[in-house]
């Protein structure tokens, strides 16, 4: 199996050394070039044809955000961003993910290079997955779907699972929801500190209220609940009239919060009433939860194996659903 070729782009010589050094420790990953900015990166992309690029958000001259937009417009490729841990950094990270970056990691502090050890496994996983990632072409952060008219909710809860690469899809999905959408619980795998930024930005762009979940919170129509990052899983304790519970258990498939645990708990509580949406390949976290939903007789959407769109399953029945019809199909299933 050929190594995944990575180009590292950062204006800091120290950061280039830290990031490239960490990448070289990952099996089957080869750093083929280092660039100090967009101009040098353009030349190296043409010469070296990397599979994946890591890109600094904050660079002098053309910023990483602007260069990312250029890449996604001219010749899309998998890009993983590195950003600071500041509030502004979180906002920039969400912007980058909306533009099409597949993930965003916090920069290590120069004085503590061992910090990269904490993210090395996840970084390696993301880079290897990125090599064969299907990209959606250019996106614009300003794109905003039209919210659907109010629904007559039939009592079904909605659970959604995704990762950083699902950011743009979540904005599109929830942007088409009405203010009185079905109660929606979301586990999105993001770097620490980004969930709050995601919720803040969604609240500026969608009709329903979006919140970071807390333990004991009642699950209500018209609200979208994001699991907080950190030490807890998010589950549903009962249905109907359920509440959110945050559980300090061990990671599932290396993830905490876990998509699979949310899906499985919802399947147990709501059974045939639940609707689940998995926005990513569920071979690790997510796949087990999807099976639990289907085993309980719930309706579940997963990425189509042929690429593009989704497959809606329930029992032995399955049908294709186009990406641009996902919101409308979910709302129809959650309406009387």
Contacts of 309 by beta carbon, 8 Å cutoff, 6+ apart: 303, 320, 321, 322, 323
pTM: 0.92
- Residue 326 is predicted with a pLDDT of 96
Bridge partners of residue 189, in order along the sequence = 163
What domains are there in the chain, each with its CATH number?
4-131 (3.40.50.2300), 158-333 (3.40.50.180)
Buried b (16+ CB within 10 A) or exposed e, 23-49: beebeebebbbbbbbbeebbebbeeee
Do residues 178 and 148 make contact, with C-beta atoms less than 8 angstroms apart?
A: yes
- Least Cα distance to 321 among 299, 297, 295 occurs for 299
- Residue 291 is predicted with a pLDDT of 93
- Residue 122 is predicted with a pLDDT of 79
- Residue 113 is predicted with a pLDDT of 58
Placement of tokens 């992309």 in the chain = 45
**Mean pLDDT, 10 residues at a time, over the chain (336 residues)?**
91 90 89 97 96 93 95 93 75 92 82 65 79 56 74 98 94 96 97 91 96 98 96 96 96 92 97 95 84 95 84 91 95 97
């Amino acid at each position: 199996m050929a190594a995944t070729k990575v180009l590292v782009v950062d204006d800091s010589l120290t950061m280039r050394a830290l990031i490239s050094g960490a990448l070289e420790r990952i099996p089957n990953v080869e750093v083929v070039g280092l660039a100090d900015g967009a101009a040098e990166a353009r030349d190296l992309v043409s010469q070296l044809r990397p599979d994946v690029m890591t890109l600094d958000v904050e660079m002098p001259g053309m910023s990483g955000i602007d260069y990312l937009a250029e890449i996604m417009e001219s010749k899309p490729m998998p890009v993983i961003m590195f950003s600071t841990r500041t509030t502004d950094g979180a906002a920039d990270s969400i912007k980058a993910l909306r533009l099409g970056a597949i993930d965003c990691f916090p920069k290590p502090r120069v004085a503590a290079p061992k910090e990269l050890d904490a993210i090395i496994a996840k970084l390696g996983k993301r880079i290897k997955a990125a090599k064969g990632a299907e990209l959606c072409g250019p996106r614009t952060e300003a794109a905003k779907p039209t919210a659907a008219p109010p629904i007559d909710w039939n009592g079904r809860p909605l659970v959604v699972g995704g990762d950083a690469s699902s950011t743009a899809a979540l904005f599109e999905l929830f942007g088409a929801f009405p203010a009185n959408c079905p109660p929606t619980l979301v586990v999105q795998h993001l770097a620490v500190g980004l969930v709050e930024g995601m919720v803040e930005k969604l609240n500026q762009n969608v009709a329903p209220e979006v919140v970071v979940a807390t333990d004991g919170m009642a699950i209500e129509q018209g609200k979208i609940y994001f699991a907080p990052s950190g030490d807890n899983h998010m589950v549903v304790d009962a249905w109907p009239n359920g509440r959110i519970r945050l559980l300090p258990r061990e990671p599932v498939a290396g993830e905490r919060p876990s998509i699979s645990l949310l899906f499985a708990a919802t399947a147990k509580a709501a059974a045939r009433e639940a609707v689940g949406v998995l926005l990513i390949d569920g071979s690790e976290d997510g796949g087990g939860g999807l099976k639990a939903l289907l085993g309980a007789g719930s309706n579940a959407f997963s990425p189509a194996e042929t690429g593009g769109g989704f497959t809606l399953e329930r029992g032995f029945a399955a049908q294709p659903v186009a990406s641009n019809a996902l919101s409308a199909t979910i709302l129809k299933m959650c309406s009387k």
